[in-house]
Amino acid sequence: MLKFAFKNMLVKRGRMALVALSIIISATVALMSLNVSQQINDGILSSFIYYDMIIGPSGSSTQLAMNTMFFTDKPLGTIPYSLVEELEQSGLVNRAVPFSMGDSFNSAKIVGTTPALLEDKPLSQGAMFEEVFEAVVGSEVASRYGLKPGDQIVTSHGLSQHGAEHASSPLTVTGILKTTHTNYDNTVFTSYKTVWAVHSHEEEHEEHESEEHDEAHEEAHEHEDEAHGEEETAQTSVQSGEIMSHGVKALGAQGASQQQEEEDEGAEAHEGEVCAILIKSTSLAAYSKLSAAYSSDSRLLVINPATVLRDVLSQVDTASQIVYILCGIILVMNILVISVLTLLNLMDSKKDIALMRMIGISMKHIRQLYLIQNGILGLIAIVLSLVLSHLMLSFIGGLTAARGIVLSVWKVYPLEIAVSALVFVLSVLPTMISIYSMSKKDVIE
């Protein structure tokens, strides 16, 4: 019976392909939407359970939360590191973690912090960073660039991939995080003191190069003056005027370039500064005291990440509901298409059924034949839908990674299996109904 079902499917492969394509399109859209929505919800919910307060420069609450929780967007600015020491000495916090951002390694952000930020993130290789110029990289960063403990990476100035490289201040990879399927996988972590040291070292390096350039320039001018003598004083004066004019233009161009560079970089933390502080208070009363104390300073922004991210989550839920409604409409249309195609197939098969009845095949076996045939078709379509939806997740994940949202390609939720089973039943249901109605009468008659 199974062999005959496959042969019958090959004979009518055109209509069978249309039925399968209808199931695949509707099921893929539904499964992918469900998976993306669930992973985003899980990512947001898992991000604000560790800290109940974030202190940063005044500005947007959403930007501060997204920057510190998901390492996306630009920092609002900087605040004094002395606030971290003040909080630790207050006795009102279990944890006060400094947070700095301003550099990048290719497409990965560099986060300057302390090992406390990674306390619940186990390492797959190596050890946690301890000294200045040491770093721990996320699993995605390590996989993408083939990094291992002991390797050195050269970071770039700013959050884009086009900033000037800190070639004189490479970071040594000491460890690699286990895969978390979160934004941590696509981030490089180092000490906040490393961020200070890199920028301080680069400034000293630039000043040293500038001094050497000035000395060489002065020596060249002295030799040039001795060679020309007094008789070319007037001409030298004119040339000096031209050089000064050129120098003014160069300085103007340099100033414009520096201004553009600062705009591209956004805020960065120099020595004695951090971009934000992540806080876990000791109690609700301690939280209230801290909030009242620091909210009164107009230069600071105090937020509860759970409150801010729930607002973001509500927007995601609204979008998800719209997607689910659209998926429901697609599924209903899919059922109608499958029903029509099934009826057409059965109408064309009346002669085949009559012939089978004439040679003594019972309606029970005929019913089994068509149920097996459509069951195989539905099963193949559902499996392809699951595979295709997760392959599309890899493409979507590449787009969302830049936003701080990492999607796991192989993460399957129980609800996906339930939806797949439902789609399978709906794809076979029209055949069951049609065959049952036909079995009530003798086709030969």
For 156-167, the pLDDT digits (tens) are 876 666 666 777
CA distances from 138 to 61, 69, 71, 183 (A): 26, 15, 13, 9
Amino acid 58: pLDDT: 92
Of residues 74 and 364, more confidence is placed in 74
CA distances from 231 to 66, 221, 226, 236 (A): 69, 16, 11, 10
Q: Quick check: 64 and 276 in contact, CB under 8 A?
A: yes
Amino acid 149: pLDDT: 94
Main-chain phi, psi angles of 108, to 5 degrees:
-95, 135
Of residues 107 and 379, more confidence is placed in 379
Of residues 116 and 343, more confidence is placed in 116
Handedness of CA 116, 101, 403, 77 (dihedral sign): positive
Element (H, E) at 174: strand 171-177
Of residues 142 and 24, more confidence is placed in 142
Quickly count: other Cβ atoms within 10 Å of residue 126's Cβ: 18
- Provide the mean pLDDT of the chain: 76
Quickly count: other Cβ atoms within 10 Å of residue 381's Cβ: 25
Amino acid 376: pLDDT: 84
pLDDT at 392 over 70: yes
| Cα separation, 431 vs 128, whole angstroms | 60
Q: Indicate the pTM of the whole model.
A: 0.65
Quickly count: other Cβ atoms within 10 Å of residue 340's Cβ: 13
Mean per-residue pLDDT for 49-66? Answer: 89
Mean per-residue pLDDT for 314-325? Answer: 71
Give the total residue count for the chain.
Answer: 445
- Which of the four pLDDT bands, split at 50, 70 and 90, describes residue 348? low
- Which of the four pLDDT bands, split at 50, 70 and 90, describes residue 243? very low
Please, what is the end-to-end C-alpha distance for the chain in angstroms? 25
Amino acid 378: pLDDT: 83
Of residues 303 and 431, more confidence is placed in 303
Main-chain phi, psi angles of 144, to 5 degrees:
-65, -40
Structure tokens at 254: 């340099």
Amino acid 208: pLDDT: 45
